[in-house]
Amino acid sequence: MFVSVYSMFTDSSSKESELDVSSFKAEIADKQKAAQIEKVKIEPRGRNDARYVVTRTNGSKSIVYGEYPDNLTKMLSDAGVSYQVKAKNDSSIWPQILSMWLPMLIVLGIVFFFLRQLQAGGGKAMSFGKSKAKLLTDSQNRITFKDVAGVEEAKDEVEEIIAFLKDPKKFTRLGGRIPKGVLMMGPPGTGKTLLARAIAGEAGVPFFSISGSDFVEMFVGVGASRVRDLFEQGKKNAPCIIFIDEIDAVGRHRGAGLGGGHDEREQTLNQLLVEMDGFESNDGVIIIAATNRPDVLDPALLRPGRFDRRIVVPRPDLRGRIGILQVHTKKVPLAASVDLEIIARGSPGFSGADLESLVNEAALIAARRDKDKVEMEDFEEAKDKVLMGTERRSMVISDKEKRTTAVHEAGHALVARFCGAEADPVHKVTIIPRGRALGLTQQLPSEDRLSMTREFATNTICILMGGRVAEEIVFGQKTTGAGNDIERATELARSMVTEWGMSDAFGPLNFAGGKQEVFLGRDFAAGERHSEDTSQRIDAEIRRIVTEQYDRATRILTEHKADLESVSGALLDYETLDGDDIDRLMRGEKLTRPVAPGRPKHAAAAAASDDDKRRPAVVPPLVGKKDPEPEPA
């Protein structure tokens, strides 16, 4: 590139030849040669010298360097050659200097520009192998164990590590040693990273944090180099803590690639294994990692000596949810009517992140209504938004489509009401479109459920069938609205037969083996572990379970057809019913609250008598596609 740029600036002078003074004088003295000289340009260069540019009639040029003033001008006049003396300019040397150095300066500027671009954003061109770990300082937002709630057992485990760092003699005097690694695992949103930040705030030692994805780049060997650099920094700052978030990004099971063991990620993992428990000692460097996929981690990473302690961070129970709500509502002004225990009881299965989102949504709803404090109704609306999605009241739906949705959801609610005690009670039923569904039936357990009985599983299938059965009883036709229900019921029945041993025909056997993913590197070539005849029997058993619950839902709704009409009519009038509303309707009582805006009273009867005259549903496109039919929750 330098040669091409330089030649671009120097080609213009390549046609000029240099001529000495004596030869030039001889050429002037020869009349025949002098006649071929078109002109001579004299450019004074210093005190007594000049540059003579000789131009001939054939286009050639010659450069002559000689004294000036000199008798050359007299010889040119005598020979009849025209010449021109350029005004003396002391700075005439600069064009030559620029023509010599400008190409080189341009090339150096281009190289400097690209180096600066590579350095931008922290990805320094000359330090690809340096670790991207960040050292947390006291000036940053400090989190302590007081800010962490709902994971008391996990807090006790990590507090012991912090106590060891502060007073190691308390443990070493009895021959104990500090755990080299701690693996925190649990579902997303349960507070694993928050717990690590609390450790950083409580430990009082240097705390390095890095994501598992920060190790591997597009360049070969960068991941292993960054692991080495990270542990070198840790040894220099020992005792210290290194936190690796989402370690499954780099610690997946080896041997999963189809191209052998030369994967860049596997080289990074090998280096991490060596650094954690290799020939060199890492005393004082504690590794804390977090993942929600412990099943994909390499066994060598999980053995004692690397991750000695595994801490499960589960979803919080009732007491944990109350504690989490108390933490997140510290800065939220609450009305006297707000009872955090009621909110916690109505949110089983919520993770810490879900509860934080619930409190934030309630605060936003109260602010949108210009309230000074957050009230209980704001939390109820926020819970519906978190569980079921945002309302789409602007969606245009025909009365016929609304009645179909109301009957479908009423079928779910009534089957859940009458199928037995082993079923979650109905919390809310709505025909207001939320998310991608045109209607939803929400059930909430009265207490935390840690396991599922066979009766509960069959009741769930029966409830899922309630929507389709209600459509057939009232309208005598089937719609696509039950597609999601049928899919979930089939999968639940399949799990009962093949995984949980809940089928009398097969007993306590498992037929779901070999379901592990290819990337785990296990059972890659394994096929089905049972015969074709067994597969047919499994399919028949799944069909039997679903069909039995379909018939059971049919009996329930046929027996309570009047209630079906009552609940569906109330849904058309009020759009949303809670569990207490449904109980009142079952007792034959009337609902006294106002009818939904734009809905005439007894809308159900009006819609039922005029079904054939209604226009088809008008559903505006969403993201280029038509909204799906009702998908009950």
* Cα–Cα dist 145/157, whole Å: 12
100-120 b/e (C-beta count within 10 Å ≥ 16 → b): eeebeeeeeeeeeeeeeeeee
Q: What is the DSSP letter of 42?
A: E
409 catalytic residue (yes or no): yes
540-545 contacts at long range (C-beta below 8 A, 24 or more positions apart):
541/497, 541/503, 541/505, 541/506, 542/490, 542/493, 542/494, 542/497, 545/458, 545/461, 545/493, 545/496, 545/497, 545/503
In angstroms and rounded to an integer, the radius of gyration of the C-alpha atoms of the chain is 41
Which residue in the list 409, 471, 541, 575 is annotated as catalytic?
Answer: 409
Neighbours of 580 (CB within 10 A): 9
What does the CA dihedral 599, 603, 608, 612 come to, rounded to 10 degrees?
A: -30
Angle, helix 264-276 to helix 222-236, in steps of 10 degrees:
20
What pairing do the DSSP bridges indicate for beta strands 440-443 and 621-622? unpaired
Neighbours of 207 (CB within 10 A): 24
The backbone torsions φ and ψ at residue 125, rounded to the nearest 5 degrees and listed phi first, read -65, -30
* Cα–Cα dist 486/461, whole Å: 9
Token pair for 504: 């009398």
**Kindly report the CA angle at 287 between 281 and 290, in degrees rounded to 5?**
155
Closest alpha carbon to 489 in 458, 454, 446: 458
**Which positions are annotated as active-site residues?**
409
